[in-house]
């Protein structure tokens, strides 16, 4: 059975052949995997088979022997698709806009500083995530902004 | 001794929150002293608000109306019958005005005298005092004339690179390194702006910037009977955004002679200003082992647990004894360094995205399992990490018989102390202590910038992802059955790793 | 040193289960040594079966086919590539035949030589050896003639009260105190029956029974380079059913002179028999400070952690170093006692119903929060406590700067380390360490019988029950709402303990 | 609202007047109680009001600041009503009968030893829980017995 998953914000496809009684077998990225599973506590499982590892999880957050990753089903995905891409620079968290370094119409290169904001008592610089032209600025200096909202829009040249 | 203490101090108000409130509470519990904590209305699910003997709400509002509200905190202390106030670190811990108000209210302030705090609270005043008692200082400008041109001239005079620092600052806020003359004006403006925001004061000083310096500090403790002790050094060179992230003791950079010299210098300072209680003298040390006084923190330090583990002492207990007017129960020659301890600070942040702070709900806090490992945290399962307070989630402190063993234990324990649900720097901390330069003791304050290539994230392998997928799939499988049936299914599983 | 060790021993098979398997595993992890564990098919959910680097099933069946199966265990060691076997305590730890088979298979047995085990494994043989090197012994009969009449005559000769003990025994099994001549025959029969069941051998010995004796034991550690060290004493006088339940170090009963004398006697024994590795010399001490050799345990002791905390050492690490042929990395004068440590053994049993063992499912294991507190347990949430193995759930070990502080920490921590869902002796342990006699150090092996009135359960108050009811009622309340809604309801709660 | 509960195997009645939003008020044993409640973790709550205490619970097992008790609803009661009473001496756990010290018809007093059994490698003596006459013995020496089964029955004299 083919199944789509979103792993670390990227969609992948697996082919699931067994999933019951604590056993699971599937193909991922061209390779066949087989694991057994024992519950350890309310958040942890012991996975054995191709890799022996403690796996903890909470919502879409998984930790495999200390390595963090997110795994979710496309239907229940909680992560915003491609945050701060497609020419929208978003605020990473709630804060205050200290300085706006560009104006609409400016041509910027990827990595150029656009806005300085303060959050959790530290200054953060929001940079352009692509080359392009500033098409909109949604906040002015001194304004408070929420987390995850668009601060600056960029219109990208067609490739 | 315990009756003597309890006659003086049988209840302490802890004027702080998070891990340090819990840390102070532990010593109170061990000494049979009742603890009183304070919390804001948004913090009712955080453990510092309910694990004490009594707790009082500060209501809602900005810090000035809650954790920085002198009058409200002193009123709570009086209402609760607390005899003393422990300020923790940060907040009011180095506020001499508050310390004086506490004393005036007939309560004991667990800390130094307001006078000591005033001397050391301002970087300029402290350096003037240090010059008097001949403590080595970094070349610099600490003048009152704060005009752009004078500051720039001073910088040119000292010679680039220089450091621009907020006079009232700390923790890296309002601090800029300037490498070239032409960058000076912009850096100065940025530092002054951050200083004004953080401290309400934009006076800066300028100092020679020492390249590849080590940050070495000495823990001191003085009583009111003329005993000025030190508890050896801590090296806190590994910093990001000028904030310490990895600390250790002993420092690999000190031999016995240098250790003696730097520790005795620290005691010369504490005895020279007739200090009382716990303090930390910070030095900057160059590659030749020349060290310069940086500042003295007149409070318990975040990284104090590594000293406790290596000297087998409880610094909060000693603070309380001193505050009660008792004599320190040990002599200098009885204090020794045994083994090695490393502290790593676990932050809710994304180290691979410019250390951007992260927020979220903690699904589960992992517990370390090895012996002589401490996790000092103020969070329990289900707590929210918000933007209201510092993004430090916990301190992991690992003691080992030697440095290699402390490193191994840190790597192992970092895997255990998960904060499920929140992005943390755990993996990044593992990368730091696992680098060859760190293992070899090649540590200095620009370590993270210098070795950024070694600190890049290691790609997660397909096999690791596959194990995660297996867990994801069996998670959804168990959703369809009851818990106990699932456990039975696991128990029925045969042939696991059979020979 | 670490490379030197890893060249000799880079993987250890732990031939045990439960807390001691996890204890040994921790040191392996700290030293970078891989650990291999074994488990029976019913133990797949117990942490010793999955927290090691590799684990192997022993299948199902009686102990002789699983944890006591010499051949299977040695085969697993060879298949896994383990270089050494650590036997823990109990099971095969004092089995000289197994130790010899391990060595014959080309593996290292982490323990003494089979010869030392044979000398000390039988109480009679060991006493003959001790007489040779002039170690003080209790008056008694250790003869081969086991007829009822001869044994009774010997008892009369020694003078009542006497102790009847299984020669091969340990842990209180096959042991009876006889106060009067007329009780002797029945007690002898019962002791012999229990001895036969437990050890397959009903030979008994008879000794003078010392009233109000203290159980004092000395931890010794010897390497193969002629160094015979001691790590000071432990007092284990508090026993129920002749099994230790509370242990502490230092003992209040020893002054410096007596301590020196008893520790040197222990080293005279370990050097006298050219011992290797960790061992414990047990003494019985009367009210006048006269002490007599009881037996030597040729393995790690259950209560070893209190010694580790007070001497700041890792006894398992030292065992491994010695087994690898290295020299002990310290001198006798570098080992000192610092502070005080108490261990309490948490059993699944009902102390108020004749210590009847209890079984059940552990819903939740609590975690201690104070510093310098260790919980050594082999159970995690959801594990079943069954009749298949020892009912000891965990050992709680608390270190304090002094005895009073260690007692306070024990009382506090016992509240924290709940084993929800199973009847335990936690409350009973609190009653023991909280009695005036215990606090004053009036400890002896009949403490529990003598002070049974002080150890009666304290009636639960209506107020405590009411708090339980409140929790019960709100539990059922939350069943009707989703979890997140409930959390929000709590957050909305206003006025909690407001001033 | 009157409500029956079984606390430490004894039935008690409470009068419940409030139970919502984390607040609860009731009368128990003639006294009025009022508590607030905050969740701490999956097994613990912080109860405040007439007493401030951490309460942990799992199934019918409650621990109030370290004090253990059982609380359950009569409808869902898991505890056997009055185990080993009413003249039935039960085995506390699975084990082996070593000795039977009485025979049917013997008159015994409360506390008299009836049976010696071995469980978890230790000997346990089963004693009479009341005065009476032995009416039945269900096991003989050497037999294995399960936990919680009747070993000896006692017919009690009428009071």
The two three-digit tokens of residue C316, written as one number: 């398992």
For chains C and D, CB pairs below 8 A equal 165
Crossing angle (nearest 10°) for helices C123-132 and C114-121: 100
Distance CA B266, CA C467 (A): 52
Each residue of B66-125: pLDDT tens digit?
A: 999 999 999 999 999 999 999 999 999 999 999 999 999 999 999 999 999 999 988 778
Q: Does C481 score more than 80 pLDDT?
A: no
Cβ <8 Å between C374 and B371: yes
Q: How far is A39 from chain C (nearest CA, A)?
A: 7
Sorted by sequence, the CB contacts under 8 Å of residue B408 that are 6+ apart come out as B400, C29, C30, C31, C32
Greatest CA separation found in chain C? 80
Rounded-to-10 torsion of CA B425, B427, B428, B434: 140
Residue position matching structure tokens 């009885």:
B334
Q: Does D1 score more than 90 pLDDT?
A: no
Cβ <8 Å between C499 and B32: no
Q: Does C37 score more than 90 pLDDT?
A: yes
Cβ <8 Å between B50 and D39: no
Using an 8 Å CB-CB cutoff, list chain B residues near A37: 470-471, 474, 490
For chains A and B, CB pairs below 8 A equal 165
Sorted by sequence, the CB contacts under 8 Å of residue C439 that are 6+ apart come out as C404, C407, C433
Q: What is the CA radius of gyration of chain B?
A: 24
Length of chain D: 159
Cβ <8 Å between B370 and C338: no
Q: What is the pLDDT of residue B4?
A: 86
Q: What is the pLDDT of residue B487?
A: 33
CA end-to-end span of chain B = 59
Average pLDDT over residues B467-475: 90
Distances, alpha carbon D92 to alpha carbons C292, C350, D120, D125, D127, in Å: 39, 11, 11, 11, 12
Distance CA C257, CA C291 (A): 13
Q: Which helix (H) or strand (E) holds A154?
A: strand A150-155
pLDDT (tens place) for every residue of chain A, 159 residues total? 899 999 988 889 999 999 888 889 999 999 999 998 887 777 888 888 888 888 999 888 999 988 889 998 886 554 443 344 457 788 877 788 888 888 888 998 887 888 888 876 677 788 887 888 888 888 888 888 877 788 888 887 543
Cβ <8 Å between C380 and A38: no
CA atoms within 13 A on the CB side of B40: 16
Each residue of C87-116: pLDDT tens digit?
A: 999 999 999 999 999 999 999 999 999 999
Distance CA B453, CA B457 (A): 9
Count of CB atoms situated within 10 Å of the CB of B166 = 24
Q: What is the DSSP letter of B460?
A: P
Q: Are C17 and C48 a contacting pair, CB within 8 Å?
A: yes
Q: What is the pLDDT of residue B376?
A: 97
Cβ <8 Å between D36 and C357: no
Is pLDDT larger for residue D78 or for residue C267?
Answer: C267
Phi-psi region of C94 (alpha: psi -120 to 50; beta: other; left: phi over 0): alpha
Cβ <8 Å between C474 and D28: no
Q: What is the DSSP letter of B95?
A: -
Q: What is the pLDDT of residue C58?
A: 95
Residue position matching structure tokens 């096999």:
B463
Backbone torsions φ then ψ of B328, nearest 5 degrees: -60, 135
Using an 8 Å CB-CB cutoff, list chain D residues near C469: 5, 7, 14, 26, 28, 33, 71
Distance CA B438, CA B246 (A): 10
Strand, helix or coil for residue D83: coil
Whether omega before C250 lies within 30 degrees of 0, making that bond cis, reads: yes
- Which residues of B are catalytic, by number? 299
Distance CA C1, CA B497 (A): 33
Sorted by sequence, the CB contacts under 8 Å of residue B270 that are 6+ apart come out as B220, B222, B228, B230, B279, B281
- Bridge partner list, D124: D117
Distance CA C320, CA B405 (A): 15
**Nearest C-alpha in A relative to C50:** A46
Q: Which of C305, C295, C217 is nearest to C263 (CA)?
A: C217
Each residue of B391-448: pLDDT tens digit?
A: 899 999 999 999 999 999 999 999 999 999 899 999 999 999 999 999 999 999 989 9
Interface of B with C in 391-450 (CB under 8 A): 400-401, 404-405, 408-409, 412
Distance CA A145, CA A156 (A): 24
Long-range CB pairs of B147-150, under 8 A, 24+ apart, other chains included: B148/B185, B148/B188
Q: Are A81 and A135 a contacting pair, CB within 8 Å?
A: no
Q: Are C241 and C268 a contacting pair, CB within 8 Å?
A: no
Each residue of B284-332: pLDDT tens digit?
A: 998 889 999 999 999 999 999 999 999 999 999 999 999 999 999 999 9
CA atoms within 13 A on the CB side of B362: 26
DSSP A22-89: TEEEEEETTEEEEEEEEE-SSSEEEEEESS-EEEEEETTEEEETTEEEEEE-GGG--S-TTTT-TTEE
Q: How far is D42 from chain B (nearest CA, A)?
A: 8
What percent of chain B lies above the pLDDT cut of 70? 94
Using an 8 Å CB-CB cutoff, list chain B residues near A38: 490, 493, 496
Cβ <8 Å between B30 and C339: no
Q: Which of B183, C348, B350, B21 is nearest to A8 (CA)?
A: B350
Which band of pLDDT confidence, cut at 50, 70 and 90, is reported for residue C125?
confident
Distance CA C268, CA C44 (A): 45
Task: Return the HEC string of C347-415.
Answer: ECEEHHHCCEECCEECCEECCCCCCCEEEEECCCCCCEECCCCCCEEEEEEEEECCHHHHHHHHHHHHH
Sorted by sequence, the CB contacts under 8 Å of residue C453 that are 6+ apart come out as none
Q: Does B1 score more than 70 pLDDT?
A: no
Which band of pLDDT confidence, cut at 50, 70 and 90, is reported for residue D43?
confident
DSSP D13-36: EEEEEEEETTEEEEEETTEEEEEE
Whether omega before B250 lies within 30 degrees of 0, making that bond cis, reads: yes
Q: Are D88 and D128 a contacting pair, CB within 8 Å?
A: no
Q: Does D85 score more than 70 pLDDT?
A: no
Backbone torsions φ then ψ of C373, nearest 5 degrees: -125, 135
Distance CA C100, CA D63 (A): 49
Distance CA B228, CA B221 (A): 6
Cβ <8 Å between B50 and D42: no
Crossing angle (nearest 10°) for helices B114-121 and B96-104: 170
Which band of pLDDT confidence, cut at 50, 70 and 90, is reported for residue B56?
very high
Chains with 3+ CB–CB pairs under 8 A to A are B, C
Strand order in A95-100's β-sheet? Answer: A122-127, A113-119, A95-100, A144-145
Q: Which of C144, C140, C145 is nearest to C178 (CA)?
A: C140
**Nearest C-alpha in B relative to A5:** B469
Q: Which helix (H) or strand (E) holds B436?
A: helix B436-440
Interface of A with B in 10-29 (CB under 8 A): 14, 16, 19-24, 26, 28-29
* ipTM (interface pTM): 0.74
Q: Does C391 score more than 80 pLDDT?
A: yes
Which band of pLDDT confidence, cut at 50, 70 and 90, is reported for residue D80?
very low
For residue B319, with 0-12 CB atoms within 10 Å meaning exposed, 13-18 middle and 19 or more buried, which class applies? buried
Q: What is the pLDDT of residue B171?
A: 65
Residue position matching structure tokens 């109000």:
C212
Known catalytic membership, residue C299: yes
Mean pLDDT over each residue of chain B, to the nearest integer = 90
Each residue of C50-68: pLDDT tens digit?
A: 899 999 999 998 899 999 9
**Nearest C-alpha in D relative to B363:** D41
Q: What is the pLDDT of residue B483?
A: 38
Q: What is the pLDDT of residue B496?
A: 34
Q: What is the CA radius of gyration of chain C?
A: 24
Length of chain C: 499
Distance CA A146, CA A90 (A): 10
Q: For B181-285, where are the alpha helices, taking DSSP H only?
A: 184-199, 256-272
Count of CB atoms situated within 10 Å of the CB of C4 = 11
Interface of C with B in 461-490 (CB under 8 A): 487, 490
For residue B104, with 0-12 CB atoms within 10 Å meaning exposed, 13-18 middle and 19 or more buried, which class applies? exposed
Distance CA B387, CA A96 (A): 12
What percent of chain C lies above the pLDDT cut of 90? 74
CA atoms within 13 A on the CB side of B353: 14
Using an 8 Å CB-CB cutoff, list chain C residues near D37: 470-471, 474, 490
Which band of pLDDT confidence, cut at 50, 70 and 90, is reported for residue C476?
confident
Q: What is the pLDDT of residue D78?
A: 47
Is pLDDT larger for residue C437 or for residue D77?
Answer: C437
Distance CA C400, CA C419 (A): 24
Across B348-488, the runs of DSSP E, i.e. the strands, are 349-350, 356-357, 360-361, 364-365, 373-377, 384-385, 392-400, 419-420
Taking the Cβ of residue D39 and every Cβ of chain B, the question of whether any pair is shorter than 8 Å is answered with yes
Chains with 3+ CB–CB pairs under 8 A to C are A, B, D
Each residue of C128-138: pLDDT tens digit?
A: 899 999 999 98
Q: How far is A116 from chain B (nearest CA, A)?
A: 11
Q: Are B364 and B421 a contacting pair, CB within 8 Å?
A: yes
Which band of pLDDT confidence, cut at 50, 70 and 90, is reported for residue C156?
very high
Each residue of B182-215: pLDDT tens digit?
A: 999 999 999 998 888 878 888 999 988 888 899 9
The two three-digit tokens of residue B441, written as one number: 């003791």
Chains with 3+ CB–CB pairs under 8 A to B are A, C, D
Nearest CB to D38; choose among B45, B54, B381: B45
For residue B100, with 0-12 CB atoms within 10 Å meaning exposed, 13-18 middle and 19 or more buried, which class applies? middle
Q: Which of C17, C23, C234, C299 is catalytic?
A: C299
């Amino acid at each position: 059975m083919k199944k789509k998953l979103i792993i670390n914000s990227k969609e992948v496809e697996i082919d699931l052949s067994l999933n019951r009684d604590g056993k699971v077998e599937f193909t991922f990225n061209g390779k066949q995997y087989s694991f057994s599973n024992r519950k350890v506590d309310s958040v942890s499982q012991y996975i054995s088979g191709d890799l022996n590892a403690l796996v903890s999880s909470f919502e879409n957050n998984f930790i495999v022997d200390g390595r963090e990753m997110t795994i979710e089903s496309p239907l229940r995905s909680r992560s915003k698709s491609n945050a701060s891409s497609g020419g929208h620079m978003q605020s990473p968290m709630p804060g205050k806009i200290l300085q706006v370094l560009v104006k609409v119409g400016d041509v910027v290169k990827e990595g150029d500083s656009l806005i300085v904001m303060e959050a959790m008592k530290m200054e953060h610089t929001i940079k352009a995530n692509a080359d392009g032209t500033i098409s909109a600025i949604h906040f002015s200096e001194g304004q408070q902004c929420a987390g995850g909202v668009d601060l600056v829009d960029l219109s990208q040249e067609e490739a | 001794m315990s009756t003597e203490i309890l006659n003086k101090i049988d209840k302490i108000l802890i004027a702080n929150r998070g891990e340090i409130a819990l840390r102070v509470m532990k010593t109170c519990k061990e000494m049979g002293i009742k603890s009183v904590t304070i919390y804001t209305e948004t913090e009712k699910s955080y453990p510092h608000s309910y694990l004490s003997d009594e707790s009082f709400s500060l209501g809602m509002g900005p810090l000035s109306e809650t954790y920085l509200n002198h009058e409200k905190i002193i009123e709570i202390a009086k209402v609760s019958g607390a005899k003393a106030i422990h300020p923790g670190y940060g907040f009011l811990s180095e506020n001499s005005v508050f310390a004086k108000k506490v004393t005036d209210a007939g309560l004991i302030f667990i800390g130094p005298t307001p006078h000591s705090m005033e001397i050391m609270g301002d970087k300029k005043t402290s350096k003037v005092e240090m010059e008097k008692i001949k403590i080595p200082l970094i070349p610099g400008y600490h003048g009152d004339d704060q005009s752009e041109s004078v500051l720039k001239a001073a910088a040119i005079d000292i010679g680039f690179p220089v450091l621009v620092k907020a006079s009232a600052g700390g923790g890296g806020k309002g601090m800029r390194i300037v490498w070239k003359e032409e960058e000076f004006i912009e850096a100065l403006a940025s530092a002054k702006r951050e200083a004004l925001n953080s401290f309400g004061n934009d006076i800066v000083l300028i100092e020679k910037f020492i390249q590849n310096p080590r940050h070495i500090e000495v823990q001191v403790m003085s009583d009111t009977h003329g005993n000025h002790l030190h508890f050896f050094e801590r090296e806190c060179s590994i910093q990001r955004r000028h904030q310490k992230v990895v600390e250790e003791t002993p420092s690999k950079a000190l031999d016995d002679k240098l250790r003696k010299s730097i520790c005795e210098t620290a005691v010369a300072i504490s005895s020279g200003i007739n200090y009382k209680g716990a303090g930390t003298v910070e030095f900057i040390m160059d590659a030749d082992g020349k060290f310069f006084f940086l500042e003295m923190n007149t409070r318990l330090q975040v990284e104090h647990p590594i000293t406790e583990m290596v000297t087998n002492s409880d610094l909060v207990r000693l603070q309380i004894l001193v505050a009660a007017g008792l004599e320190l129960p040990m002599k200098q020659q009885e204090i020794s360094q045994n083994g090695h301890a490393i502290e790593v600070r676990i932050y809710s942040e994304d180290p691979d995205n410019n250390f951007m702070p992260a927020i979220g709900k903690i699904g589960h806090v992992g517990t370390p399992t090895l012996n002589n490992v401490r996790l000092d945290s103020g969070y329990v399962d289900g707590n929210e990490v918000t933007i209201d307070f510092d993004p430090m989630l916990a301190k992991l402190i690992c003691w080992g018989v030697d440095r290699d063993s402390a490193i191994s234990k840190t790597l192992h324990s970092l895997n255990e102390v998960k904060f499920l649900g929140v992005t943390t720097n755990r993996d990044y901390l593992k990368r730091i202590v696992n680098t060859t330069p760190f293992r070899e003791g090649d540590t200095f304050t620009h370590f993270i910038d210098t070795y950024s290539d070694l600190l890049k994230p290691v790609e997660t392998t397909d096999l690791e992802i596959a194990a995660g997928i297996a867990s994801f799939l069996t998670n959804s499988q168990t959703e369809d059955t009851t818990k106990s049936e699932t456990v039975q299914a696991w128990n029925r599983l045969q042939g696991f790793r059979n020979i």
